[in-house]
Structure 1
Amino acid sequence: MKPVFPSFLIALFIFTSQLGVFGQCTIPSLPSCAGCSNLTGSNLNISSGTYCVTTSISNLNLSGSAVICVSGAGQINGGNVNGGTVIYNGSSASNPLNFNVGGGTLRIRSSLTLTNLTSINASSSVIVENSATLTVNNLDINGALYVDQGSTLYSNGNFGINGNGSVCLNNGIVNTNQFTKNDQANSTTTSSRGCYTIRGSVGNFNQVLTNTSNISVCLSGAVPNPNKFGSATVNPNCSSALAGGGCFAALPVRLTSFQAQSFGEGVRLNWTSSLEQNFDYYQVERSTDAVSFETVSPRIASQIEQSGVRRYEWTDVDARSETFYYRLKQVDLDNTYTYSKIVSIAFANNDNAASLKPNPFSDELTITLNTLTNGTYAIELYSAEGKLYASVSGEKNEPTLVRTVATANFPTGFYFTNIRIGDQHFMRKVIKQ
């Protein structure tokens, strides 16, 4: 079934209601973090605007249409989300959440452990996306849970769906020790495929789980009562303690990496997968706004005959300026399809997120990286012919990173600088004189 992307804010309220009424699930649009203002301090009441959090703040009370973008060492200690959206983009803080989700939206885009998150209240949403894994101790679903595109919700203890709860598994996985209850008829839906791994026991469901066979259930033993799962495809003796459990056998593609790198001839896309079941081909799609995508590659056939890790590569020779966003369309043999996470690469020299000085350079080149994303970075300098002349890497823990590369022995000419951190990729053209 072809996914439908909502265009208006009203879609956020539609999809956070009972998903079973609508028969499919589509993830709400991601708010932009561009131009966010730095937020610090404690006892904060925010109802509008877009803010970035890269340090520890205390007692945040969020409402209205406010957007909070958390990255790096950012963490929120105490407070309430009664509206607005909190987005975790690459936060590396341990357990960086201690508040109730009471009417807003929490979006997890980097793998986190949130032991203080125990329930999703009515009129609230939790979205696990971008191939992330969210680990909790126990979770009660009273609002809406979305697990999207290769992401996993992992519960160390109990998982239950109450009368107002709904779950959307769009090629996503819920892995729980105990599935304690399901009080909403057909509470779990999908626009592609989804899977539950149940490592332990299953409770006495008051309602059937789903009305589609595209939802799979992996159990640790025999099927206790197949009627409680509705039309789901139930697989006994297939669960495990891993994040995906036995679910990877039920999902068509498992991407293990997807990257974009800039070279003199354009943008080179590389990706790997460890599983391709009943799978046909990939196509690369490109966008300038991360919303509207167009197909730019031919069909790239599955390496079905190859075992183990499968490696793919395709170069977009038409990408030489601006900022581009890429995703993979993953098409099964039955013509159903899903999308990968989105990666981006920026070419524009006036983009302050990555700057190189001086240009032209002589004995050394200084690279300054200003981005909310923290973590492992890599900087590579290539000649126009594609020869690698310098490579540096490390950990970025602050909003601004400055690195200097010795270049006295470089031949004169043009060089392409490729900078990668998380899902962000930047390319800059410089000249050695």
Structure 2
Amino acid sequence: MRFLLSSLLFLILAVTQRLVAQTPFSVRWSFEGSLSGASSVPEVTPGNPSFVGVNVPSPLAIPPPAGPSGLGINLQHWSTSPTCNNTNEFAEFTINASDKVTLQQFSFFFSKSSSGPTQLSVRSSVDGFNAVVFQQAVTDGYQQAVIPLSGASYTEVTGPITFRISACLPASTGGVLRLDEVAFTGVVAAVLPVRLTYIRAKSTDNAIDLNWETAWEQNTDYFAVERSMDGEVFHKIGTVAAAGTTDQRQTYSFRDSAPALSINYYRLQQVDKDGRTELSKMVAAQIANDVPSLEIMQNPVEGPIIRLRLRNLPAESLTLTTMTGLPVSIETYSEANDVVRLTVKQPLRAGLYVLQAKKGLMQLGRKVMVR
């Protein structure tokens, strides 16, 4: 009975649990002629900054202050009170998260005019703007405030989060606090649409078979199969339709009928119906050295030269024909590393041709696209 209950619990967890991917994001206000912010991800949106007790000249700065990156903004009319207890004057910056996000940092550049505020402080909405999370003396040259964010209040949160930048002790109300490149950074904890339990690659004759399984899927569209010769640069070689939304295990397969003679690296790009993508881990396979193989190195081809790799098949057996079976006159020259250079001795029209090689009863063919 205990084993049965444990098995049922494992099944329930496997069905209901969803893997989470952490996508880095940044939200930034650069003040290049606008107060609008910009976000690197759709799940986190910037609000327009608000200014309480102080004002931003219209247009944004008269004259525009030079920031560390382009323009910044001037904030004027700070209280000349001899204390720094005033929390009614501030610039406020807000982000709104539609998915769970973990905030990692709030940062900005700041400076002042000769009569501007000499002290600056920052508060956060997570505690009702009570605690000061950053405090610094303000100078005439730009400094950067970098405020690390950690703890439960900033971990996997949704909705709005606001930071207020306050200043005090100016020499006059006309003194200016300058801000530039205000930014939030963190990660979005997005639910993955697929849980991939395995992906395998295995050579079969002169092909490589890929097999994979998913434990569940949510809103999936298709899998793009990608191949690489070096494990770094990948190209799509086919697609397989996905199940959509299901809590049942699904198995898939794909055959690469024209693998390279060297090691072939594969991965899956899972694409859901909202356009989100996730990459699988990489797997590798190589066809056996004693298996005959024929690989066109560049296809489509242009001009009279076709380069190919030929393994365990004689180069003199190569033939090139049209799709209707008419022979095309060719010459072959064997190079190093199983490479064969094939020269077409007559002009070819653009279109498809068939390249074949034989050895005993073994015959391999590949279609060649001529441009």
- TM-score, normalized by the shorter chain, greater than 0.5: no
Structure 1 or 2, whichever has the larger Rg, is 2
Q: Give the TM-score of the pair, scaled to structure 1.
A: 0.27
Q: Give the TM-score of the pair, scaled to structure 2.
A: 0.30
